[in-house]
Amino acid sequence: MATIESILHEKRVFPPSDEFVRHANVSGLEAYRALCDEAQQDYLAFWARLARQHIDWHKPFTHVLDETNAPFYKWFDDGELNVSWNCLDRHLATNGNKTAIIFESDEGAVTHCSYRELHAQVCRFANALKSLGVKTGDRVLIYMPMRIEAVVAMQACARIGAIHSVVFGGFSAKSVRERAINAGACVIVTADQQTRGGKQHALKTTVDEALAMGGADCVRHVVVYRHTGATIAWNTPRDRWWHELIDNQSAKCDPVWVNAEHPLFTLYTSGSTGKPKGVQHSSAGYLLGAMVSIQWIFDFKPHDIFWCTADVGWITGHTYVAYGPLAMGGTQVIFEGAPTYPDAGRFWKIIQNHKVSVFYTAPTAIRSLIKLGADLPAQYDLSSLRLLGSVGEPINPEAWMWYYTVVGQSRCPIVDTWWQTETGSHMIAPTPGAIALKPGSCTFPLPGIDAAVVDEAGHAVPPGQGGFLVIKRPFPSQLRTLWNDPERFKQTYFPKDIAGGSYYLAGDSAQRSEDGYFWIMGRTDDVLNVSGHRLGTMEVESALVANPLVAEAAVVGKPHEIKGEAIVAFVVLKGIRPQGEQAAEITATLRDWVAREIGSIARPDEIRFGDNLPKTRSGKIMRRLLRALAKGETITQDTSTLENPAILEQLNQPGR
C-alpha cells in the first residue's frame, strides 16, 4: 500500500467533466466558494437558512445556536420537529408511490417498498412499541439483520421519540449486554437469525445469552422478527414476535413532536479506553447534516438510485441508509448480503439490475473486490452509475484509480468522504461538480465546516506538515455528548490544551498540501481501523486478559492489504511461553475467545507469545517498538530505556 509520502506527492488531478458540472447541485468552484463565503459572512444565518429549507418544522425555531454551556452546544433549540415525519409523511402527498427502498436479500429475492408502504410499516411498529409501554425518551436497542425491518425499527423509535441504539449484528453477547446496560434499554428488537454470504448467524440466541449474564434488568421485552424460521428458545412473557405485535396495530401513528435537541439515537463506538462510548446525536442538527451532505456531496437528484453498502449497525448506515436518503425522498437499495456471495460480481450485478446511479462503499470492499476479480465489473452494465463514494478509511491511490477507471469508467467522480460517528455526517469531501479530485485526498471541507490542521496548542501548522485534525466552530450534526458520560465527552473532544477547549478534536492526524487539499493520515489515539471499523486496542487487550491463561497483552495494528489494518496481539501467558503445536492451539483458542468477547471483527490476525512485553523501567509498555515488530521492521529506535531488551528478540518471531 502506498505510504503517506507518496500520497502527498500525488500529481494526478481529475476535474469534473463539463457535463457533470452543468447538472451539479453545486455547479462549479464559484458556486462552492459562494456557499463557503455565505457561511463565513454570517455563520448562523447560513445554517438557519439551510435548516429552514431542508427540514419541515412543527414549530419553527427562533434561536440558531446556543453556546452558553459550551461544548454542550444546542442548535435550533426552541424548534420542534419529528425526524420520522420528515423522512416519510412529508413525501406521501406527492411521492407516496415512489419506491423508497429496493431490498435485495442475501439469496437475491427483491422487494420494492414505496414511501406509503414504509410509512405504514413504521406506524404499525411504532404502535407496537407503544403497546409495550415504550415512551418518548426511552431507549430501544436494535440488533437486527440488514433488512427493511431494521430501518422500520429505527424510524418507529424516531416516530415516538424513543432513542434507539443499534448494535451491529456481528457484536457478541457481552457487547450487547454492555450496551443494553449502559443505555438502560427497555426493549431489544432483534431477529431469529441473520443471513450473510449464504450462512446463518444467531441473533436471538445471542440476545438470550446477553440477558442471561445478568445486570440488564432494564430490558422488559425482546421483540423478535422471524427471518429464517430457525428454532429459538422462548421466554414468556418477555419475548414477543414482531408479526404478532404488529398484527392488530393501526397503520396510523401520530408522530411525537420533539425538541430539536431531543436525542435521536446513541451509537457505541470505540475510543482509547476499554469501554466503548455512547455517541449521542440530536434530532434536527443531525438530520440537517445528513440532508445537506446528500444534496452537496452525493449531488442528490430525485431520480437517483442511491446505494450505500454500510450496515445500519454503523454510523454510515444510520446517516446514509436509515435517515438521509429517506429525508431527501430518494430511492435507495438495501442489500442484506456480502459483496462476494455467491461470487465477487455481486455488487456489480446489483448495480446493473437496479440501475444504481450513486454508489457508496468502503475502501476495504474495493480492495477485496480488486483482489477477487479486478476484471469482473467489465462483465456488467454499469452505465447507470454517475457518482461513486468512499468512506471509513484512507483510500490508497491504486484502489482509487481502479474504482475510477474500471467501476466508474472514468466518467464518475469519486467522493472520498471523511467523517466520523461523532460528526454525524460528511465533514471533508469533494463537492463533485466543483472540486478537482486527487486520488487519496478527501479534498476540502463542506461549506460551513471550519476544519483545520493544528499543533498540540491549537496553532495552525504550515502546509505539508502533519498535525491534529480539528473543527474550529460548532456545527449542527456534531455529537451532543457521550451517553451517561459528559466528562469524558469534554475531555476527549474538547481538550483544554487545544485552543482552550473550543475546537472539536477529531482524533485523526492530517496534512494539507500547498494547494489546501486535506490528506488524512490515521488515528492519533489507540484506535485501529480494521476493514473500516473502529476498534480500540484497549478493548481487545481487556478481552485477552479476561482469559484465564493470559497474564498480559498488548495489541497494535499493522498494515494489511485488504483490511487496511490487521490486529497483532503480543501476549504473555501465566507461567508458560508456548511454542510449536501448543502455541498454535492457544492462538486458536485466544482468537475465538476475543471473537466471543467482542465480536468477530475483533479477532486478532496474529498472536505472538513472549515471557514479557517490552517495558520502560517505569513499567510502561513501549508500543512503538511493538508496532515496528509487528510490521517486521528492524528496530532502529533507541532501546536503552528498555528494562528487558532481550524480549525484543523473542517477540520478533512471526506469530500465527
Q: Which residues pair with 569 in a beta bridge?
A: 555, 607
The answer to whether 450 is annotated as binding is no
Residue number with CB closer to ligand WTA (225 or 494): 494
Residue with grid cell 503517506, as numbered in its chain: 4
DSSP 210-264: HHHTS--TT--EEEEE-SS-------TTTEEEHHHHHHT--S--PPPPEETTS--
529 contributes a contact to ligand WTA by CB under 6 A: yes
Cα radius of gyration (the chain): 24
* Binder among 114, 316, 352, 481 for ligand WTA (CB under 6 A): 316
* Binder among 89, 192, 508, 541 for ligand WTA (CB under 6 A): 508
DSSP state at residue 499: G
Segment interacting with ligand WTA (CB under 6 A) among 30-38, 210-218, 310-318, 339-347 = 310-318
Q: Both ends of the chain: CA-CA distance in Å?
A: 22
Distance CA 255, CA 59 (A): 13
Residues 6+ apart with CB under 8 A from 424: 281, 285, 286, 289, 290, 315, 319, 477, 478, 479
Amino acid at 19: E
State the nearest-atom distance from the C-beta of 314 to ligand WTA, in Å. 6
Amino acid at 241: W
Segment interacting with ligand WTA (CB under 6 A) among 248-256, 505-513, 566-574, 610-618 = 505-513
The answer to whether 196 is annotated as binding is yes
* Binder among 392, 439, 447, 610 for ligand WTA (CB under 6 A): 392
State the nearest-atom distance from the C-beta of 24 to ligand WTA, in Å. 20
**In this structure, how many other beta carbons lie within 10 angstroms of the beta carbon of residue 490?**
17
- Of residues 337 through 376, those in contact with ligand WTA by CB under 6 A are none
Residue number with CB closer to ligand WTA (269 or 481): 269
State the nearest-atom distance from the C-beta of 299 to ligand WTA, in Å. 17
Alpha helices in 268-339 (DSSP H): 284-296, 315-317, 324-327
Segment interacting with ligand WTA (CB under 6 A) among 471-479, 501-509, 589-597, 604-612 = 501-509
Do residues 271 and 421 touch, judged by C-beta distance below 8 A?
A: no
- Cell readout for 648 is 525484543
Residue number with CB closer to ligand WTA (130 or 627): 627
Phi, psi of 234 (to 5 degrees): -130, 135
The answer to whether 508 is annotated as binding is yes
Residue number with CB closer to ligand WTA (260 or 535): 535
State the nearest-atom distance from the C-beta of 101 to ligand WTA, in Å. 21
Residue number with CB closer to ligand WTA (439 or 614): 439
Closest CA to 90 of 57, 122, 121: 57
Residue number with CB closer to ligand WTA (160 or 479): 479
478 contributes a contact to ligand WTA by CB under 6 A: no
539 contributes a contact to ligand WTA by CB under 6 A: no
393 contributes a contact to ligand WTA by CB under 6 A: yes
Residue number with CB closer to ligand WTA (300 or 518): 518
Segment interacting with ligand WTA (CB under 6 A) among 113-121, 134-142, 311-319, 611-619 = 311-319
* Binder among 170, 377, 394, 413 for ligand WTA (CB under 6 A): 394
Omega prior to 237 cis, within 30 of 0: yes
* Binder among 86, 127, 165, 269 for ligand WTA (CB under 6 A): 269
523 contributes a contact to ligand WTA by CB under 6 A: yes
The answer to whether 421 is annotated as binding is yes
The answer to whether 393 is annotated as binding is yes
Residue 541, H or E segment: helix 537-545
Residue number with CB closer to ligand WTA (354 or 534): 534
The answer to whether 572 is annotated as binding is no
State the nearest-atom distance from the C-beta of 279 to ligand WTA, in Å. 8
Do residues 208 and 233 touch, judged by C-beta distance below 8 A?
A: yes
By beta-carbon distance, which residue lies closest to ligand WTA? 421
Residues 6+ apart with CB under 8 A from 26: 32, 35, 296, 299, 431, 433, 434
Residues 6+ apart with CB under 8 A from 602: 530, 535, 539, 540, 543, 567, 594, 595
- Cell readout for 93 is 402527498
Residue number with CB closer to ligand WTA (361 or 547): 361
Please report the beta strands in 36-143, taking only residues with DSSP state E, as ranges in sequence order.
Answer: 65-66, 74-75, 80-81, 99-104, 110-114, 139-143
507 contributes a contact to ligand WTA by CB under 6 A: yes
Do residues 436 and 15 touch, judged by C-beta distance below 8 A?
A: yes
State the nearest-atom distance from the C-beta of 578 to ligand WTA, in Å. 35
Residue number with CB closer to ligand WTA (106 or 416): 416
The answer to whether 597 is annotated as binding is no
State the nearest-atom distance from the C-beta of 330 to ligand WTA, in Å. 19
The answer to whether 105 is annotated as binding is no
442 contributes a contact to ligand WTA by CB under 6 A: yes
Residue number with CB closer to ligand WTA (155 or 361): 361
Helix 173-183 × helix 204-212 angle, to 10°: 70
Compute CA distances 67 → 57, 417, 488, whole Å: 22, 28, 19
The answer to whether 500 is annotated as binding is no
Distance CA 104, CA 118 (A): 16
Longest dimension (CA), the chain: 74
Distance CA 130, CA 573 (A): 51
State the nearest-atom distance from the C-beta of 623 to ligand WTA, in Å. 18
Segment interacting with ligand WTA (CB under 6 A) among 82-90, 332-340, 392-400, 589-597 = 392-400
Distance CA 414, CA 37 (A): 25
Do residues 286 and 280 touch, judged by C-beta distance below 8 A?
A: no
Residue number with CB closer to ligand WTA (232 or 527): 527
Residue number with CB closer to ligand WTA (143 or 268): 268
The answer to whether 608 is annotated as binding is no
Burial of 357 (0-12, 13-18, 19+ CB in 10 A): buried
- Cell readout for 510 is 492530517
3-state secondary structure 544-598: HHCCCCEEEEEEEEEEECCCEEEEEEEEEECCCCCCHHHHHHHHHHHHHHHHHHC
- Of residues 225 through 264, those in contact with ligand WTA by CB under 6 A are none
Residue number with CB closer to ligand WTA (84 or 319): 319
Q: Which residues pair with 570 in a beta bridge?
A: 554, 608
- Of residues 411 through 430, those in contact with ligand WTA by CB under 6 A are 416-421
Judged by CB under 6 A, the number of residues near ligand WTA is 22
Residues contributing to the site for ligand WTA (CB under 6 A):
269, 314-316, 391-394, 416-421, 442, 506-508, 520, 523, 529, 534
- Feature table: binding site for ATP: 392-394, 416-421, 508, 523, 534
The annotated binding site for Mg(2+) is made up of 545, 550
Binding residues: 196-199, 316, 392-394, 416-421, 508, 523, 531, 534, 545, 550
